[in-house]
Amino acid sequence: MMRALLCSLIVGSAGAAPSAQADADAPVRDAILAAVRARMGADADVAIDHLRVPAASAQGPVQARPDPGARLGRPMRFALRTATTVGPAVAWTATAEADLRVRVPHLHTRRVVSRGDTLDEADVAIVSHEVEGPLRAWPAAEAIGRSRVLRDLGPDACLAPASLAVLPLVSAGEEVRATARVGEVVAEGRLLAADRGDRGAVIRVVNPRSRRTMKARVVGAGTVEVIHD
């Protein structure tokens, strides 16, 4: 009976270890997922197959930053720091390595397209599958009508970022529709963009009457949301 009890304790402990380790690694895992989606878009489906983290588990929220040369299709390194660190210069004091798979919606050609063509809805379809290469957003629906093909492509070709020259959602000097939220109140107006940017980018915008400069986040084609400091 004693032997059976001892065996059950050993089996129970062995079964609990992976779960405990997964819980300890959760802040790092969440930080890596957030860092990848920040680069590739909120609709990116990110899976971490293998994660190698420092021996000392992070306590509290963690921030992750991919190495400059990080590419999908091979192990990637991320610099780590805890969000609770105080001081003007926060050090990235640890690293983690992860094997990732990322699936994103992006454009495929429906037919032959030639270098210099501007893509319209008849030329492309939106598909979703795993992609490789640098951590950057892939052209999707918003690129239709704003993209020029950089090389000849056949039907069902995958339109990677390097395949297209895509106009930004907001260009410098463009008049944009701006919204500003203060509590439950939403105000709208027209401002001038001082910078260019795609969805999620923070740019400077100028009130043409007062000449006041503000920060705004690009939320769509010619559309921004004012950020309050």
Residue 67, pLDDT score = 94
Q: Which domain holds residue 96?
A: 2-102
Quote the DSSP letter at residue 137.
P
Last residue of a domain, one of 137, 166, 195: 166
Residues 88 and 10 in one domain: yes
Instruction: Tell me how far apart the alpha carbons of residues 219 and 32 are, in angstroms, rounded to a whole number.
Output: 24
Residues 51 and 139 in one domain: no
Residues 32 and 108 in one domain: no
Residues 97 and 110 in one domain: no
Cβ–Cβ under 8 Å, residues 203 and 223: no
Residue 36, pLDDT score = 95
Residue 85, pLDDT score = 52
Instruction: Tell me how far apart the alpha carbons of residues 219 and 203 are, in angstroms, rounded to a whole number.
Output: 11
Residues 19 and 89 in one domain: yes
Global pTM exceeds 0.85: no
Torsion on CA atoms 31, 35, 37, 40, rounded to nearest 10? -160
Burial of 66 (0-12, 13-18, 19+ CB in 10 A): buried
**Residue listed under structure tokens 């293998």:** 50
Residues 138 and 183 in one domain: no
CATH number for 182: 2.30.30.760
Above pLDDT 90, what percent of the chain?
A: 59
Residues 96 and 109 in one domain: no
Cβ–Cβ under 8 Å, residues 205 and 216: yes
Q: How far is CA 183 from the centre of its chain?
A: 28
Residues 113 and 57 in one domain: no
Residue 83, pLDDT score = 60
Residue 58, pLDDT score = 53
As given in the structure block, the two tokens for residue 87 are 């001081």
Residue 154: partners with Cβ closer than 8 Å, 6 or more residues away: 109, 112
Count of the separate structural domains present in the chain: 3
**Residue listed under structure tokens 């919606």:** 105
The model's pLDDT over 88-114, given as tens digits with 9 standing for 90+, comes to 555 777 899 999 999 999 999 999 999
Residue 20, pLDDT score = 55
Residues 12 and 98 in one domain: yes
Residue 57, pLDDT score = 53
Long-range contacts of 178-185 (CB under 8 A, 24+ apart): 178/205, 178/216, 178/223, 178/224, 178/225, 178/226, 179/223, 179/224, 179/225, 179/226, 180/225, 180/226, 180/228, 181/225, 182/228
Residue 175, pLDDT score = 95
Residues 9 and 96 in one domain: yes
Residues 212 and 188 in one domain: yes
Would you tell me how many other CB atoms lie within 10 Å of the CB of residue 28?
23
Residues 31 and 92 in one domain: yes
Residue 5, pLDDT score = 35
Last residue of a domain, one of 166, 183, 202: 166
Instruction: Tell me how far apart the alpha carbons of residues 202 and 194 are, in angstroms, rounded to a whole number.
Output: 11
Phi, psi of 141 (to 5 degrees): -55, -40
Instruction: Tell me how far apart the alpha carbons of residues 125 and 107 are, in angstroms, rounded to a whole number.
Output: 6
Residue 4, pLDDT score = 44
Dihedral sign, Cα of residue 150, residue 152, residue 154, residue 155: positive
pLDDT in tens, the chain (229 residues): 434 433 443 344 444 455 555 667 899 999 999 999 988 988 899 999 999 987 655 556 789 999 999 999 999 999 998 765 555 555 777 899 999 999 999 999 999 999 999 999 999 999 999 999 999 889 888 889 889 999 999 999 999 999 999 888 899 999 999 999 877 788 899 999 999 998 778 999 999 999 999 999 998 889 999 987 6
